Amino acid sequence: MEQKFDVIVVGAGHAGCEAAAACARMGARTCLVTMDMNKIAQMSCNPAVGGIAKGQMVREVDALGGHMGEVTDKCSIQFRMLNRSKGPAMWSPRAQCDRGKFIWAWREILENTPHLSIWQDQVKELLTETIYTPEGRQPEGPKVRVTGVRTYLDVTLRARCVIITAGTFLNGLMHIGRTQLPGGRTAEPPSLLLTESITQHGIKAGRMKTGTPVRIDGRSVDFSLMTEQPGDALPYKFSYLGNSRVLKQLPCWICFTNPEVHSTLREGLPDSPLYNGQIQSIGPRYCPSIETKLVTFADKEEHQLFLEPEGESTQEYYLNGFSSSLPIDIQMAALRKIPAFRNLQIYRPGYAIEYDYFDPQQLYATLESKIVEGLYLAGQVNGTTGYEEAAGQGIVAGINAALKCAGSDPFLMQRDESYIAVLIDDLVTKGVDEPYRMFTSRAEYRILLRQDNADARLTPKSYALGLASEERMRAWTEKDEHIRRILRFAEEFSVKANIINSTLEGMGEKPLAKGCKLIDILSRPTVTLQGMAGTLHKLAEVLDAIPSRKEEIIEAAEIQIKYRGYIERERQQAEKMKRLESIRIRGRFDYASLQSLSTEARQKLERIQPETLAQASRIPGVSPSDINVLLVLMNR
């Protein structure tokens, strides 16, 4: 059997779903290959979306026309805006989701997307052909290009582009104590042969490790001995479209380990795959296992744990903070030393998993391989960790694969335009030596990359590509008009001291000595638009004219007012860097022959082949003096 498509997406995790949906909506005939249609967009670890910097990426995916935010809003059972005590550049939305409903919400979208087919099977081989120029010579770039894939059912799927989004399934191996089980995740087989089919072309692969905690039967938990952690009372959502939360909102719960727990866990360390030599690969630094915490923070007598519901009506709970690959009996015995878990029953233990990934430095910023033309890689196969990082890569790979099929220019974003761009630039420029996780600290322009303005940054770009819908663009245009109206009013409206001082004093603010523009008053930290509207009737009329999404629009306008100085300064810094971004250098130098560069710079520039001078400046080991050398040579 043989079928033909424009794009084939291998793997229906968070990267694969976004990639397939983006390709198809841009008009490319797309086939999404998955081992199990009932596990589409499975939340393999925590059934939660968002978090620090991750929430910003989900809003960016949504602004681009992706679906993760929309699905999360439909399936949310708890929403929280993290870091509210800090500035808005740090605010990060996070939602606990119903795991089962999340799968079916995604499946409903994919099955009703035009130009998208789903094939339940497993890919074992990447099909390629040798490239020749019209003169019959091989080109200087990639020597081969993809032509499709072959599956275990002996089906051949032909396409111009293939996107690999296989997550942790490539030669996946699970560890529970000294027990080892082949698998991509619990009860699911690994993907064999595909890694070797890809690396035979010279693409480098390595091994990484991640893990997941025990799943607990809530009927065995004494919740009276835990601290309740409710979600936010005010409605909020990820997607710039659609409705707010529709499911029953549930609390999470907090408890702590204790010295008895730690003592029991230490007894199991000789059988821990992390410490007996069984696991050699590197795990995520910022999501360590409980046994790693014991060794790394040996002086701590307790570690905080979060018990989080897996669904609206299920009894299954996820124990955040207790990722482990210790033997089952050790996990159980240790947990039963926590008062709330004295009668603990579990659905399954925690485990570690090792899997293959590919060196992301061998990719362009489009996520296309530099070695095999038409091959794109996205998600954990690039050495990242997290649903949100995967979704961001997936939608970019999908957009660029569709554009390649259409013969159009690639879609690229700069580091001042999105966290997704920061993620991809870090991957292709710096590479990875451990699972990469996004943080706000990785972005030098995080005041520009706020969660409230992702639509302003990305929706017009996506609409121009044909991905963002008319509805999405209209929603952004209306929001922008209302924000601009508020800003104009604040800049032009004069406030008299005798009218506003009593209101300011009631807020604990210093009264005015003389009148001023409203925008100057709103720059004060505690003064809000809603607070002023009670006194200033003309302001109230402006706010009342907002027909929908009133809180979101007022918040966005207020952030622009209060942080306008910081925003402008950061925008100027980004403009300076864009001058280097405009200087394209790929293919212009034989770096190995440039003796004026340091040895390390020559080696890394030769291997990575940066697109621009700005990207070259971000390569570890390439110094400012090396960049100056290249600038001088460019002038010559």
DSSP 186-219: TTB--B-SHHHHHHTTT--EEEEEEEEEEEEEGG
For residue 235, the model assigns a pLDDT of 67
For 607-636, what is each residue's pLDDT tens digit?
999 999 999 999 998 988 899 899 899 876
Residue 472 and residue 65 in contact, taking contact as beta carbons nearer than 8 Å: yes
Q: Using the structure block, give the residue that is written with the tokens 């968070």.
A: 14
Geometric angle at alpha carbon 530, from 529 and 533, rounded to 5°: 85
Q: What is the pLDDT of residues 105-161, one digit of tens each?
A: 999 999 999 999 999 999 999 999 999 888 777 877 889 999 999 999 999 999 999
Query: Residue holding tokens 């009996």?
Result: 329
Q: What does the pLDDT read at residue 134?
A: 82
Q: Cα–Cα distance between 8 and 124 in angstroms, integer?
A: 14
pLDDT, average across residues 344-362 = 98
Q: What are phi and psi of 402, to 5 degrees?
A: -65, -40
In our burial notation (b when 16+ CB lie closer than 10 A, e otherwise), range 68-102 reads: bbbbbbbbbbbbbbbbeeeebbbbbbbbbbbbbbb
Spatial distance between the Cα atoms of 396 and 376, rounded to a whole number of angstroms: 10
Domain residue ranges in the chain: 1-468, 470-569, 582-635
What percentage of residues in the chain have a pLDDT greater than 90?
A: 88
Residue 182 has a pLDDT of: 97
Q: Which CATH class is domain 1-468?
A: alpha beta
Quick one: which of 84, 96, 98, 106 has its CA closest to 451?
84
What amino acid occupies position 466?
G
Place of tokens 């004093």: 505
Q: Cα separation of 302 and 338, whole Å?
A: 11
Average pLDDT of the residues in 441-459: 95
Residue 599 has pLDDT above 70, yes or no: yes
Work out the pLDDT band at 519, boundaries 50, 70, 90. very high
The dihedrals phi and psi of 261, each to the nearest 5 degrees, come to -60, -45
Query: 152-185: string of b/e by CB count within 10 Å (b at 16+)?
Result: eeeeebbbbbbbbbbbbbbbbbbbbbeeeeebbb
What pLDDT is recorded for position 535?
92
* Half-sphere exposure for 129 (CA within 13 Å, toward CB): 9
Model confidence at 56, pLDDT cuts 50, 70, 90, reads: very high
What is the rounded distance in angstroms from the CA atom of residue 450 to the CA atom of residue 443?
A: 11
pLDDT band per the 50, 70, 90 thresholds, residue 379? very high
CATH of 470-569, one of 1.10.10.1800, 3.40.50.300, 1.25.40.10, 3.50.50.60: 1.10.10.1800
Provide the edge-to-edge strand list for the sheet that holds 161-164. 116-120, 30-34, 7-10, 161-164, 375-377
pLDDT tens digits along 159-218: 999 999 999 999 999 999 999 999 999 999 999 999 999 999 999 999 999 999 999 999
Instruction: Say yes or no to pLDDT of 432 above 90.
Output: yes
- DSSP per residue over 115-128, as a string? TEEEEES-EEEEEE
Of the candidates 603, 590, 601, 632, the one whose C-alpha atom is nearest the C-alpha of residue 140 is 590
Contact between 239 and 63 under an 8 Å Cβ cutoff? The reply is no
Residue 244 has what pLDDT? 65
Mean pLDDT across 493-510: 91
Return the pLDDT at 636. Answer: 64
Mean pLDDT of 76-98: 93
Which two structure tokens, joined as six digits, stand for 138? 């091989």
The tokens for 318 are 């996820």
**pLDDT higher than 90, residue 439:** yes
Query: Across all residues in the chain, what is the average pLDDT?
Result: 95
On whether the 582-635 domain is CATH 1.10.150.570, my answer is yes
Contacts of 91 (CB under 8 A, 6+ apart): 81, 82, 83, 84, 450, 451, 452
Mean pLDDT confidence for 476-488: 97
DSSP-derived secondary structure letter, 424? H
Residue 59 has pLDDT above 90, yes or no: yes
DSSP state of 112: T
pLDDT at 144: 96
DSSP 374-422: TEEE-GGGGTB-SHHHHHHHHHHHHHHHHHHHTTPPPP---TTT-HHHH
pLDDT at position 507: 87
Distance CA 269, CA 265 (A): 7
The model's confidence at residue 3, banded by pLDDT at 50, 70 and 90, is very high
Name the one residue in this structure whose structure tokens are 């960016």: 60
Which pLDDT score, from 0 to 100, does residue 8 have? Answer: 98
Question: What's the pLDDT tens digit per position in 258-281?
Answer: 999 999 999 999 999 999 999 989
For residue 34, the model assigns a pLDDT of 98
- Is residue 221 within 8 Å of 340, Cβ to Cβ? yes
- Residues 155, 123: Cα–Cα separation, whole Å: 9
Contact criterion met (CB below 8 Å) for 311 and 247: no
